[in-house]
Structure 1
Amino acid sequence: MSDVFGTAGIRERVLAGWRAAPVRFREDANAEEDLALGGYLDRVVVELAQNAADAAARAGVPGRVRFSFRDATLVVANTGTPLSAEGVESLATLRASAKRDEADSAVGRFGVGFSAVLGVTDEPVILSRTGGIRFSRADTAAAVANLGSAELETEVRRRDGHVPALRLPFTAEGEPPEGYDTAVILPLRDEAAAELVRRLLDEADDALLLALPGLERIEFDVDGAVRVLADAESRWHVQRAAGTFDEDDRERLLADRPTEERARPHWSVLWAVPRDPATALPGVVHAPTPTDEPLSLSALLLATFPLDPARRHVAQGPLTDRLVQEAAVAYAELLRNRAEHGADTLPLVPTGLAAGAVDRALRDAILAELPGTPLIPAVEDRSLLRPRDAVVVEGSDDAFNAVLAPIVRGLVRSGRHDRTALDALGVRRLDLAELVDQLGAVAEAKPPEWWRDVYGALSGMVADPLLRESLGTLPVPLADGRLVRGVRGVLLPGHDLPAGVLATFGEYGVRVVHPEAVHESLERLGALSASPRTLLEDSAVRVAVEHSAEADDPEGITEAVLAVVASDPAQAAGLWWLSDLVLRDADGELVPANALVVPGSEAEAVLDEEEVAAVDRALLERYGLETLEAVGVLSTLGAVSASDVTLDELPESLADLDGIEDWADDIAPDGSRFGATVGELSAVRDLDWITDDAWPRVFELLGSSPELRRALVGQVRVVGPDDRAHGAPSYTAWWIRERVLCPDGEPLAGRADPEADPVLANFLDEAPEWTGRLDPEIRTAVGLVREVADLDSEGVELLLSRLADPERVVQESAILRLWNQLGTLTAYPAQAPDRVRVLADGGVTRVVGAGEALVADSPMWLERTDLGGFVVASGVVADGLGDLLDIPMAQEVAAGKIDGEGTAADVPQIVRELVPQVPDTWWEHEELTVDDVEVSWWVNEDGEPHAATFNGLAKALAWAAGRWDQRHVILAILTDPTRASELLIDAAFDSTPTDDPS
C-alpha cells in the first residue's frame, strides 16, 4: 500500500508529541470533542458540501457533489482539486486550514469542518484520484496503547477510551466513483447516526446552493430515491454584494478577529427572495452556512459574518456592525429591483418584533435605509417613490385613490394589510376626514360630473361605518350652483314631485344636488331622495313655512307646499309645524292653517268663530280636502301627538295646547316634572276654542273618531326618575274635567253618571240629560261618576262634605255601603273633614265632630257606647277609612281590658263539629265588664272568648274562630241543642257547589 501522502510521517510526529507531552494528547482530544459534539454535531452535510465547493473553486471547474446513502453508509463524491499531501496534513491538524492563502475559498474559512463527520462515524475514509486515506478511532487507540506511556494510558482511561480520531491518518485503498475526483465514505456509527443523516439530507435545499456558489449541482440518492438541486437562482430573486476591506478598514474591523481570519479581508452578502411565495424559509442567518441566529425577515440572508468558536452564533464587534450595514444596503437594493419589476415589496418590509440581537440590528439598519429607496409605486403614474416622499389617505381604496391622484402629490395605495409596513417606512398618513375638509378648496372649480366620479369612487368605502363618519363633510355641488359641505340631509332630485317645486324651495335654502353630480353613494352617506316626505322634513322648508306670513311671496311658499302635500297627503303625517303655513280664508286674508276650518264642517259648527275662519273655497277645490287637512285645516276636531315626552321640557308640537303646562304639573310624580317622561301622548287640540253650547255635539265627535277617542279615553303612562310608572288621565280628559262647565256654572266633572250607584248618586249633582247618549267609556273619561272609585280628590271632598250635612237623612244601609267603597280609595281630599257621619240607634245615622268619631274594625267595639260615634269597617277598609277621615281606631283610644278572669268552660262538642276553628275553651262571666263598661262578650288579645250571655258567647266564639259568618249557627245550637242533627246536615252543603236550580 503506497503512502503517497506521507501519512506515516504524520502519525510518527503526532505520536511522538503525545509521548513527549501527554497534555498535548489531552488538548487534541478535547478540541476534537468540542468540534464533533458542539458546533459541528449536525453539520456533516453542509460541511462536506462546503469542502466540495472549495475543491471545485480551487480547480476552477463547475462543482458537482453527490450524496449517496445506502446500507448505513454515506458516500459523498465531488469534482474539483483532488486530495493532496497538504490537504491530508490539514485534515490531521486541528484548526489549521490548508486554504489559508486561497482567496477563492470564501466559504470554508476555518479548515476544521471535516470534524463534522465524527458526529456520525468513527471510521471516515477519503478516496481521491491521487490516493486515499482513512481515520480510525480504534486504530488510533491501538497506536496510543503501543506507545507504552503510563500517563497516556491513564488519560485514555479517564476519557473512557475516547481518543482523537482525526489526528492519525492511515493509507486507504480505492477509487472515487467515475466522473468524480474525490469521495468521502462514512460508515455510520449506529441507527441514531443514520436517522440524523437522513434528516440532514432531507433538509438540504436551495439555501445550500446559494451559500456555496462553487457548486452548480447537488444530487441526493437516498436508498435509490434521487433528488437534484441545481439552478437555484431560477427559483429565487437574488441580490449580491461583495468587496474587500481597504487597509484602514482592515485594521479597524478585523482587529479583534483571529490571525488567519485577518488575512482574508473579503466580504460578501447575498439576499434571496423565493419566487414561489409558498417556499419555506429557514428562518436563520447563514454565515454563509446556517447558524443558530434567528431571522424574521421574509428572505434568505447569506453573509460572511464572523462566528464564535462553535460556529453557531455571529460574533459581536465592528466587523459584524459593518456587514449589517452592507446587508441593509443590499436589502434596500433588492427591494428597489423587485419594485422596478412590478413586485409588491411592502410584505418584505421588516415589521413586528425582532427575533434576536442580529435580527434586530438588521431590521434597524434596513428601516434606516428603506425610506430613501424608491420602492412604492405612485397611484398617478406608477413611478417609484421614496417612502419619505409618499403619502397615503387613511381608509381610501384603489378607486378613490385614482380620483385623488392628480390632487394629492405622492399618493400611494394603502390596503389594510399594508398599514404596518407603511408606518415602519415612515410614509405620511393623511386622515380621510382631513382630506375631505381640504377637498372643497382643492376641487372648487371641478364640474358636477367630476364630483359624480368622486362619489362613484367612494362606492367601496361607504359600506364601512367608520369611513362614512370621516366622509361626513364631503362637498356636494347643488343645483343652484353652490358647493356645500356635508352630504347628510341634501336632497337628491326625484321624479315624483311637481315641476318647479325644487326650484321654488331652492330659493329658501333647500339643498338639492345638481342632477349631473347624483350618484347612489350619496344616499348611503346620508343624502335623501327628494320625496314629498324628505322635502317637507327639510329644515329649510320648515323655516319657510313657519315664516310664511312674513315672506315676500307667501303664496309662492303656500302653493309649493300644497303641491308637494297634494302629491301624497299621507307624507305630511306628524309634521305638526305645517299648520303654520298661511292660507287665504274666505275673506281673502292670510291666516295660519291651524286657524282655518272647512266651510260647513263639524269644526266650523263647534269652534268659536272669533278664533277660526273658513278657508278659501278655491284652495279647497284646487288641492282637495285631504291636502288641506294634512296641513292643519280642520274639518272636525284635530289631534296632535308626540313620543318620548319629557315633562320638564315639553316638545314644540304641544306648545299651543291650552293648559298643557298645568296638566304636566298635575300628572308629575310627587309634583316634580324633572326627569319624568311620558312614552306616547295624543291630545285633542283647540279645546279652548269650542263654544259652550257645542259640548254635547263635541262629545259625540270625540266618541265617533278612533283618533279623537283615543286622545280622550287613553291614559298616559308616566315614568318617574326612579323608573317607577303610574297611569294618569290624558291631557284631553284632564282639560275637560278642569274647564268644561254646565249651564249652572259648575263643572261637568264629578256629576253622577246616568248609570251611577243610586246610593252614590243621591250625594252628587245630576249630569245633563244629553250625557245619557254618550257611551260609558266617554262618560268616565270626562269625569262623570259611576261609583266611588271614579271620584277624584275634589269629588271625594264634595261627597264627604255632603255626607256630613246634618240636614240629610242617611240610612244605615246607605252609609255602610259607602264606607265599604270609601275605604279603598287612593284619592284623598286636601283636608280631612271636620264633621263625620256615624252610626246611631234606630237604623239611621248622625253627624258628629271628627274628634268624636272612631273606626270600629271589630263588632265587639260597638258595645262600647261610652266611646262616641262609630264608623264601621274591617281589615284594610277600616285602615283606609281611618286615613281618609283622619280619625283613630277604637283600640287606639281604649285599652279593651277585661275586668276579672271569669270561669273557664269547655266549648260544646257540637259547636266544634259545626265550626272546627273555634277554641276548645271559653270564659263565663256573671257580669262582663271591659274598661269598667258592661258588655255581653269580648275576645282578648290572646284570642280567648269571654261572654256573659248565650248571644254574646255565639259572637265571641265566631269572632275568635275567624268565622263571624257562623255566629247565628253557633247561637242556634247553643240555644236549642236538639237542632244539632239539622244543622250538621245543613253544614254539609256549605262548601259543596250546587247546580242552578232552574
Structure 2
Amino acid sequence: MGGFGGILTAVTTDVFGAAGVRERVLAAWAAAPVRFREDANAEEDLALGGYLDRVVVELAQNAADAAARAGVPGRVQFSLRDSTLVVSNTGTPLSAEGVESLATLRASAKRDDAESAVGRFGVGFSAVLAVTDEPVILSRTGGVRFSRADTAAAVAGLDSPGLATEVRRRDGQVPVLRLPFTAEGEPPEGYDTSVILPLRDEAAAELVRRLLDEAGDDLLLALPGLERIELDVHGEVRVLADAETRWYVRRAAGVLDESDRERLLADRPTEERSRPYWSVLWALPRGPASEPPRTVHAPTPTDEPLSLPALLLATFPLDPSRRHVAAGPLTDFLVQQAATAYAELLRTRAEDGASVLPLVPTGLAAGALDGSLRDAILAVLPETPLVKAIEDGTLIRPREAVVVEGSDDAFNTVLAPIVGGLIASPRQDRTALDALGVRRLDLAELIDQLGAVAEAEPPEWWRGVYEALSAMVTDPLLRESLGTLPVPLADGRLVRGVRGLLLPGPEVPADVLATFGEYGVRVVHPDAVHGSLERLGALPMSPRALLEDSAVRAAVEHSAEADDPDVIAHAVLSVVAADVSQADGLWWLSDLVLRDADGDLVPANALVIPGSDAAAVLDEEEVAPIDLAVVERYGREAVEAVGVLSSLGTVAASDLTLDELPEALADLDGIDDWADDVAPDGSRFGVTVGELRAIRDLDWIVDDAWPRVLELFGTSPELRRALVEPVRVVGPDDVVHGALSYPAWWIRERVLLEDGEPLTGRADPEVDPILAEFLDEAPEWTARLDPEVRLAVGLVREVSDLDAHGVGVLLDRLADPDRVVEESAILKLWSRLGSHTAYPGLTPEYVRVLDDTGVTRVVAAGEAVIADAPMWLQRGDLGGFVVASGVAADGLSDLLDVPVAEEVAAGKIDSEGVAADVPELVRELVPQVPDTWWEHEELTVDGVEVSWWVDENGSPHAATFDGLAKALAWSADRWDQRHVIRAVLSEPDRASELRLDATFDQPAPERPTPEQPA
C-alpha cells in the first residue's frame, strides 16, 4: 500500500456499502453464469475497444463533472511516478451512488445532474482497464478499490459449477469493475478525490506517458468545468490553463423542447432521451503555436475526421464503439447548429479584421460527417457578413458581393464607388469565393460597361483609372480585356478603345490640333493622359502619327469639299514643314488641294513648281503651276513632300498581289494591263510582287519632251531605279520570274516617236553591227542617255535585248528575199536567236536558210530543216538548212517551227562497210576516238551518197580521208580536232611535229558517263 505514496492506508471502512454491492453481484453471477459472461465481455469490449486510449480524457472528464456538480472551479492533477498514475481533482467527492455506478456498467450516477455533466453513459471509468488491473478511488468521504485478483478469489469461493466453467473458459479472466472493495486513505491536500492506477506493465506506462504528452488545449476546451490541468511526469510539470487566451471560441447550447425531443431522440437509448441538452463549441487557434486536432470531439475525441482548420466539440450521439458519431436526426440537428455557430465564429473574426476566407470549406470532404458539416456551413456562410467591401470596409454577405476577374487592388479602389459590393479577389482566395457563391464579373465585360456608368466623370478621374491599371497592362492576357477601355477626348467625347488614339504633345501646334479635331481626329484629353494609354496602343502625338490618322486622311482626301480648304492645307503643310520625312510613303497626301497660280484649288498631285523639270515636260492641260506664295510660306520641300511636282513623282508598294492591286497604284495609267502582261501564264490570281516602284503621270508627258524625260531618268537615282530595276514576280507555284518595271513597260507600250513608230525595238547606239542592219535607227539624242535607261526603254544592243515583237520583226526582215545576208551573219544570228527566250506570237511563213554551197536564201518554212550535226549538211536532198547545235538547235526549231533533220530523215547507212583500226597516232593525239572505224568504197545514207557518217551507235563510217577525219572527230565529241586528225591521216611523216604541237593543247573536257549528268 505504501507504494501509493502514503495516500492509501491498510485499514478500511465500508462507508459506501461496497460489501452489499459485491454480494448482489456475486449472487447474480452464481445464479446465472451467463450474467457473469455478459459483464466480462462488456467490460472487455470497452477496455480493448472504445476506451483503449482514453484514460487521460475520461479521468479529466470525470474531474470536470465532479467540479460542475459541486459548483467549484475544476482542477485536476495527473502525476506519473514509479509506474503509478495518480489523478487528483476538486469537486463533489465519491458517493455510494457513484460507487454503484462504477460497479454497474452503463448505469451512470449523473442522471439527476445531466445538464452540467459531460459524461453521459457511466462507462468512462472503464478506460482505466487499458492500463491497470487494480484501480483505487480515494475521496474525502471514503475510498473504494477494484481488483482483478480479489474478484477472481471471490468468484472462486462461490459454489457454482456453471460459473466455474465460465471462468475456466475465459482462462481465469474476470471483470475488474464489477466488485468494489473498500479502501482507506485521503487525496492530496487541496483535492477532493484521487484515482490511483498501478500500471500493469511497461506498455501501459508508455501509453500513459504518450497520452499525457499529447494532452493540450483541446482537453480544456472540451471540459469547460476545468480551469487548470497539471501534468507531472516524473517531476517534469506542465500546466494547462487559460486556453481561451490561445483560441478564439464560439459556443452554442440549448435544451430541446418536447416536440424536438420526440423527433430527434426517438432512436436514442432511454437514458440518453432523458438528457435533452445539446452544446457546440468551435475554436480557432490564435497563433501558430496552437494546432487544432483534425477530428471531431463529441465532446471527447472521436475517430471522425474533420477537414476544417478548427476544433469542433459537440454533443453528437456516438455509436457503441464510442469512436464514431451515430447517424440520425439528432446528428443532423447538431450539424446545422454547428454550421450556424461556425458562421458566427467567422463573422466575429471578420469583424475583428481577420481574413476568414482560408477557413471556408473547399476541396474534398474527409468523411461523411465532415461532408455534412461542410455542406451545412456552405449553406449558411453566403448569408453571413464575412467579406469586406472595398468602398467603405463594411462586412457584407458573400451573396451580395462582387469580384472583378483579373482586377488588382489599385483598380478595385477606383471601381469600388461604381460597382456595388465590390470586394478584393486575391488569387489564393478564389476557390473560397467561388464556394461562397460570390458573383464574378469578367474584366472585359466591366470595361465595356464602364463608359455608361462613369460617363459623367471628369478627365482627371479617368487618369486615376489609367494609373490604377498600370500593373495590369503589363499582363498580355489582361491587356486584351482592356480593349474597350473608355477614354475622354480633347473635344469632349468619350470613346471606347485606346488603340489608335493620339496623346497630345508639344510637337504639334495647338491650331493644327484644333483644325483636325473638327474632322474627327481622336486626341486624348490632356488631363486624362497617363503612360498606361500608350502601352495599350495610344500613339504619342508625333507629326507622323497625326498624318497617319484615318481622320486626317479623310480630311485630306475630301479637302476639295471642305468649307475652308485652306485651313486644312495650312494644318497639313505646317506639320510636314516641321519634318518633311514624316510624309514619306503617305501617297494620299497628294490629294490635298492647294492654290494654283490663278488662285484655283487643285490637288497637289496636279500642281508643278514653276520652272521645274515637271513644269517643262508635263502637259499644261493636266497640271498647273502652284501659287508661289504657298511655296514661300511652307518651303519647297514641304509642298513637294505632299505631291507637288518639281520632277516626275514616284509611288511604291510592297508585298502586293496582282489580282488585288493596292489603292496607291490605282491612278497609274495602264497598271492593270501591266499586271496582265507580267503575270505568268496570263493569270494574275495568286501572283505576288515583293516590291514595286512606279513613276507617276507618264501619260501627262508631252510627246516632244521624251528626250528630256529620258535624260532626267538617268540623272535622278530614284527615277532611274524605278525604271531600270526588273520586278520580282512570284507565281502561285512559288516560281520566281523577272518582269519589266511598270515605267519600262509603259514606255515600250505607249511612247511613239515623230514618225509614229515606237521607240522600243530600235538599234541602240552601241548595237552589234551584225544586228544593226536589221533594226531601225534610234534618234541621235538617244546617244546621250544612260546605257541602262536605253536598255530599259527597249533599245536593242544584241539579240538578247529583243522582246517578242522585236524577234518577230527580225525574223520578218531576215526572210526578206531582197536583203543580202552573208553566211557569217546568219550563222551568228541563228546561234543567238536559238538561245533567246522571247517568242513572237506567230511563227514565220518564210525563213532564211543556207544551201550546201554556203549561200543564204529564203524558202518556205516547210522546206527548211535544222541541221544540228555537221553530217546532215551533206544531205542537200532535205532542203535548205538552218544551222545550229545543242540548245540553240532546239530553240530555233521551236522559234521557226522547223523540224530537226533527224525528224525528217532516218539517217540509215545502206552498206555494211569494212572494220579497220584507227591509227595509233590518232588515238595518241585524240584519246577519245574509238579504236575501230568502218571503211566504205561508196557510202550512202538513205540512198544519198555522203563522204562520212556516224551511226546511231556512235560508230564512224567514211569513204574518204577527209570524211574519216570528220567522222572520227564527231564520234569522239572532239569536232575541234578534225584538222589534226586529217593531218595525221594524210601526212603520217608529220607525226613528231604533231606530237610536239599537241603538248600545248588545252585538255579536253571529260565526257560524262551514263551515271553522270552532262
- Shorter-chain-normalised TM-score: which range? 0.7 to 0.9
SS at match of 1:841: coil
Matched, 1:576 2:582: no
Is the 1:493–1:515 contact (alpha carbons within 8 Å) kept by the matching residues of 2? yes
Give the drift of 1:800.
Answer: 3.4
- Rate the CA distance shift 1:803–1:304 in 2: closer, same or farther, 3 A: farther
Task: Provide the residue aligned with 1:387 in structure 2.
Answer: 398
Matched, 1:747 2:752: no
Matched, 1:594 2:605: yes
Give TM-score, length-normalised by structure 1: 0.85
Give the drift of 1:170.
Answer: 9.1
Is the 1:127–1:175 contact (alpha carbons within 8 Å) kept by the matching residues of 2? no
Give TM-score, length-normalised by structure 2: 0.84
Structure 2 Cα separation of the partners of residues 897 and 44 of structure 1:
125
Instruction: Spell out the pairing of 1:185-334 with structure 2 (5 A cutoff).
Output: 185=197, 187=199, 205-218=216-229, 229-276=240-287, 282-334=293-345
Could you tell me which amino acid in structure 2 is paired with residue 79 of structure 1? N
Is the 1:140–1:163 contact (alpha carbons within 8 Å) kept by the matching residues of 2? no
Task: Provide the residue aligned with 1:800 in structure 2.
Answer: 811
Instruction: Spell out the pairing of 1:561-572 with structure 2 (5 A cutoff).
Output: 561-572=572-583
Task: Provide the residue aligned with 1:996 in structure 2.
Answer: none
Gaps of 5+ in 2: 1-9, 1005-1014
Is the 1:58–1:104 contact (alpha carbons within 8 Å) kept by the matching residues of 2? no
Structure 1 Cα separation of the partners of residues 800 and 989 of structure 2:
48
Is the 1:332–1:370 contact (alpha carbons within 8 Å) kept by the matching residues of 2? yes
Matched, 1:615 2:622: no
Is the 1:117–1:186 contact (alpha carbons within 8 Å) kept by the matching residues of 2? no
1:647 pairs with one of 658, 662, 678: 658
Structure 1 Cα separation of the partners of residues 329 and 81 of structure 2:
46
Structure 2 Cα separation of the partners of residues 902 and 965 of structure 1:
26
Structure 2 Cα separation of the partners of residues 305 and 420 of structure 1:
30
Residue deviations 1:731-771 (CA, integer Å, cap 9, x gap): 22222222223333333333344444444444433333433
Residue deviations 1:86-106 (CA, integer Å, cap 9, x gap): 667766766665656652576
Structure 1 Cα separation of the partners of residues 18 and 837 of structure 2:
124
Instruction: Spell out the pairing of 1:666-815 with structure 2 (5 A cutoff).
Output: 666-815=677-826
Instruction: Spell out the pairing of 1:425-464 with structure 2 (5 A cutoff).
Output: 425-464=436-475
Residue deviations 1:557-606 (CA, integer Å, cap 9, x gap): 22222222222222222222221111111122221111111122222222
- Rate the CA distance shift 1:807–1:220 in 2: closer, same or farther, 3 A: farther
Structure 1 Cα separation of the partners of residues 174 and 957 of structure 2:
124
Task: Provide the residue aligned with 1:79 in structure 2.
Answer: 89
Structure 1 Cα separation of the partners of residues 996 and 96 of structure 2:
139
Task: Provide the residue aligned with 2:517 in structure 1.
Answer: 506
CA RMSD of aligned residues (A): 4.4
- Rate the CA distance shift 1:647–1:106 in 2: closer, same or farther, 3 A: farther
Instruction: Spell out the pairing of 1:830-845 with structure 2 (5 A cutoff).
Output: 830-845=841-856
Which entry has the higher C-alpha Rg, 1 or 2?
A: 2
- Rate the CA distance shift 1:921–1:611 in 2: closer, same or farther, 3 A: same
- Rate the CA distance shift 1:266–1:871 in 2: closer, same or farther, 3 A: farther
Is the 2:725–2:741 contact (alpha carbons within 8 Å) kept by the matching residues of 1? yes
Give the drift of 1:552.
Answer: 1.9
Task: Provide the residue aligned with 2:7 in structure 1.
Answer: none
Give the drift of 1:388.
Answer: 3.0
Give the drift of 1:904.
Answer: 5.4
Is the 2:110–2:117 contact (alpha carbons within 8 Å) kept by the matching residues of 1? no
Which moves more between the two structures, 340-349 or 619-628? 340-349
Give the drift of 1:944.
Answer: 5.0
Give the drift of 1:624.
Answer: 0.9
Could you tell me which amino acid in structure 2 is paired with residue 372 of structure 1? E
Task: Provide the residue aligned with 1:536 in structure 2.
Answer: 547
Could you tell me which amino acid in structure 1 is paired with residue 369 of structure 2? V
2:352 pairs with one of 333, 341, 346: 341
Is the 1:57–1:104 contact (alpha carbons within 8 Å) kept by the matching residues of 2? no
Task: Provide the residue aligned with 2:895 in structure 1.
Answer: 884
Which moves more between the two structures, 433-442 or 528-537? 433-442
2:374 pairs with one of 363, 369, 376: 363
Is the 2:656–2:690 contact (alpha carbons within 8 Å) kept by the matching residues of 1? yes
Give the drift of 1:157.
Answer: 10
Identity rate, percent? 77
Is the 2:115–2:277 contact (alpha carbons within 8 Å) kept by the matching residues of 1? no
Structure 2 Cα separation of the partners of residues 654 and 11 of structure 1:
121
SS at match of 2:633: helix
Structure 1 Cα separation of the partners of residues 880 and 796 of structure 2:
29
Structure 1 Cα separation of the partners of residues 783 and 234 of structure 2:
114
Residue deviations 1:519-563 (CA, integer Å, cap 9, x gap): 444434443333322322233322222222222222222222222
Could you tell me which amino acid in structure 1 is paired with residue 659 of structure 2? D
Instruction: Spell out the pairing of 1:47-196 with structure 2 (5 A cutoff).
Output: 50=61, 53-54=64-65, 56-58=67-69, 60-63=71-74, 75=85, 77=87, 79-80=89-90, 102-103=113-114, 107-112=118-123, 128=138, 133=145, 181-182=193-194, 185=197, 187=199
SS at match of 1:679: strand
Which moves more between the two structures, 567-576 or 58-67? 58-67
Task: Provide the residue aligned with 1:424 in structure 2.
Answer: 435
Instruction: Spell out the pairing of 1:856-867 with structure 2 (5 A cutoff).
Output: 856-867=867-878
Could you tell me which amino acid in structure 2 is paired with residue 495 of structure 1? P
* Corresponding residue pairs, total: 988
Is the 2:128–2:197 contact (alpha carbons within 8 Å) kept by the matching residues of 1? no
Instruction: Spell out the pairing of 1:870-909 with structure 2 (5 A cutoff).
Output: 870-899=881-910
Give the drift of 1:915.
Answer: 5.4
Structure 1 Cα separation of the partners of residues 735 and 617 of structure 2:
40
- Rate the CA distance shift 1:902–1:62 in 2: closer, same or farther, 3 A: farther
Residue deviations 1:149-182 (CA, integer Å, cap 9, x gap): 99999999999x7957766779799998887754
SS at match of 1:242: strand
Matched, 1:556 2:573: no
Could you tell me which amino acid in structure 2 is paired with residue 530 of structure 1? M
SS at match of 1:500: helix
Is the 2:910–2:939 contact (alpha carbons within 8 Å) kept by the matching residues of 1? yes
Structure 2 Cα separation of the partners of residues 139 and 931 of structure 1:
145
Which moves more between the two structures, 800-809 or 967-976? 967-976
SS at match of 2:350: helix
Instruction: Spell out the pairing of 1:969-988 with structure 2 (5 A cutoff).
Output: none
SS at match of 2:280: strand
Structure 1 Cα separation of the partners of residues 499 and 540 of structure 2:
11
- Rate the CA distance shift 1:854–1:383 in 2: closer, same or farther, 3 A: same
SS at match of 2:747: helix
Could you tell me which amino acid in structure 2 is paired with residue 783 of structure 1? G
1:411 pairs with one of 414, 419, 422: 422
Structure 2 Cα separation of the partners of residues 984 and 223 of structure 1:
126
- Rate the CA distance shift 1:577–1:105 in 2: closer, same or farther, 3 A: same
Could you tell me which amino acid in structure 1 is paired with residue 839 of structure 2? Y
Gaps of 5+ in 1: 994-998
Give the drift of 1:726.
Answer: 3.4
SS at match of 1:255: coil
Instruction: Spell out the pairing of 1:509-524 with structure 2 (5 A cutoff).
Output: 509-524=520-535
Could you tell me which amino acid in structure 1 is paired with residue 521 of structure 2? V
Give the drift of 1:250.
Answer: 1.8
Task: Provide the residue aligned with 1:494 in structure 2.
Answer: 505
